[in-house]
Amino acid sequence: MAMSANIMNASQQPLLRAQGLNIEIAGRHVLEQIDLDLMRGEIVTIVGPNGSGKSTLLRALIGAIEPTSGHVRQASGLRIGYVPQRLHIDPTLPLTVRRFFNLPGRHSRQAIDDALARAGIEGRGETPMTGLSGGQFQRALMARALLDNPDVLMLDEASQGLDQTGTADFYRQIEEVRNTVGCAVLMVSHDLHVVMRAADRVICLNHHICCQGLPEAVSAAPEYRALFGSVDEEALALFRHDPHHHPHGGHEHHGAEFHQTEHDDAQ
Ligand SMILES: Nc1ncnc2c1ncn2[C@@H]1O[C@H](COP(=O)(O)OP(=O)(O)OP(=O)(O)O)[C@@H](O)[C@H]1O
Ligand SMILES: [Mg+2]
């Protein structure tokens, strides 16, 4: 029995591992010496300025881009649901959510309905894609990525175009998906202050990994502050409160509510 390909299948082994990953495109270093492990069930958020290599990193991790040097290992049989940064649907196309989900491969009615429910847009199968609101559209993309029960859900700026409440709502949904489906989540986000708290671990990327660790530690790190400034407490309050209740000022929250895990310490 061939064991070597399965060495990453034990529960404490990463689902995905990048080691010494370098990517050069047109003679420019887009990614330098990236080491990254993604463990089962964790939510990892990648933040970084425009052009810092975030999308390139996701594409390298799913195997769509060949590294210049270093390597990416996936646990054997790993299923990844990937939501790309840009997806344009021709607005004149009469495409329902259900038909969109059946492109290219067909899925059972039940599987589609379950995925829609998990993404928080139950019963939307017959709605035209172009008839969805921005938030519903992003949820539909997430539902589609959940169809094959992925081990890893990857989202590249999936909350783009949503307002702060919509974003907070969307990230709660992601957390719920992680809890019910049990998949790991690796996402790229620009909604720094809101989203950081939804993650177990944050990776700050600027071609190389500037810093990483628990959200609190990363937001306090000088490398992070040099890129993004300090944390917007009001946006954080919005995330922590029930999105259906509007926050009344920013003084109800305390650091003790933060969701902490025992992953890497910040460096
Ligand atoms: N196929 C390509 N051809 C040429 N340059 C590329 C290609 N893909 C990426 N790049 C370059 O690599 C750099 C990183 O791009 P990438 O899309 O990964 O950044 P990003 O962090 O996702 O940015 P954004 O926040 O704007 O989405 C950019 O300078 C980009 O122009
Ligand atoms: Mg990008």
Query: Ligand 1, residues 25, 29, 61, 205: which to mutate, most atoms within 8 A of Cβ?
Result: 25
The domain spans of the chain are 13-87+149-247
Give the whole-angstrom CA distance, residue 117 versus residue 114: 5
Q: For 51-200, where are the E strands, in sequence order? A: 69-74, 80-83, 152-156, 184-188
Closest by CA to 141, choosing from 89, 67, 90, is 89
Ligand 1 pocket check for 54: Cβ under 6 Å: yes
Which atom of ligand 1 lies nearest, measured to the CA of 190?
A: 25
Give the whole-angstrom CA distance, residue 167 versus residue 204: 20
- β 152-156/184-188 pair status: parallel
**234: pLDDT confidence band, cut at 50, 70 and 90?**
low
For the chain, give the percent of residues with pLDDT over 90: 51
Nearest ligand to the C-alpha of residue 26? 1
Q: Please classify residue 152 by burial: count the beta carbons closer than 10 Å to its beta carbon, then call 0-12 exposed, 13-18 middle and 19+ buried.
A: buried
Please state the rounded mean pLDDT for residues 165-181: 87
How many angstroms is it from 220 CA to the middle of ligand 2? 24
Q: Report CA-CA distances (Å) from 105 to 95, 102, 236.
A: 15, 5, 40
Closest by CA to 217, choosing from 260, 186, 157, 252, is 260
H helices of 39-95, where?
Answer: 54-61
User: Bigger pLDDT: 255 or 245?
Assistant: 245
How many angstroms is it from 56 CA to the middle of ligand 2? 7
Ligand 1 pocket check for 48: Cβ under 6 Å: yes
Which atom of ligand 1 lies nearest, measured to the CA of 56?
A: 18
Query: Ligand 1, residues 22, 24, 28, 30: which to mutate, most atoms within 8 A of Cβ?
Result: 30
At the top level of CATH, the class of 13-87+149-247 is: alpha beta
Please state the rounded mean pLDDT for residues 151-170: 86
The pLDDT tens digits for 2-42 are 344 444 444 579 999 999 999 999 999 999 999 999 999 99
The pLDDT tens digits for 194-233 are 666 678 999 999 999 999 988 888 888 888 888 877 655 5
Contact 208, 52 (CB under 8 A): no
Give the whole-angstrom CA distance, residue 109 versus residue 58: 30
Closest by CA to 196, choosing from 242, 154, 236, 249, is 236
- Tokens 């991790």, residue? 61
Query: Ligand 1, residues 46, 50, 55, 65: which to mutate, most atoms within 8 A of Cβ?
Result: 55
The pLDDT tens digits for 100-151 are 999 888 999 999 999 999 999 999 999 999 999 888 998 999 999 999 899 9
Ligand 1 pocket check for 30: Cβ under 6 Å: yes
- Residue 168's pLDDT is 83
- Residue 216's pLDDT is 81
- Residue 5's pLDDT is 41
Residues in the chain: 267
User: Bigger pLDDT: 98 or 5?
Assistant: 98
Count CB neighbours of 94 within 10 A. Answer: 9
Q: For the chain, where are the E strands, in sequence order? A: 16-25, 28-38, 43-47, 69-74, 80-83, 152-156, 184-188, 201-206, 208-213
- Residue 247's pLDDT is 37
The pLDDT tens digits for 34-86 are 999 999 999 999 999 899 999 999 999 999 999 999 999 999 999 999 998 87
Which atom of ligand 1 lies nearest, measured to the CA of 49?
A: 25
How many angstroms is it from 52 CA to the middle of ligand 2? 8
User: Which pTM was predicted?
Assistant: 0.81
Determine the number of helices (DSSP H) and then strands (DSSP E) in the chain: 9, 9
Closest by CA to 41, choosing from 6, 11, 19, 3, is 11
- Residue 125's pLDDT is 95
User: Bigger pLDDT: 266 or 238?
Assistant: 238
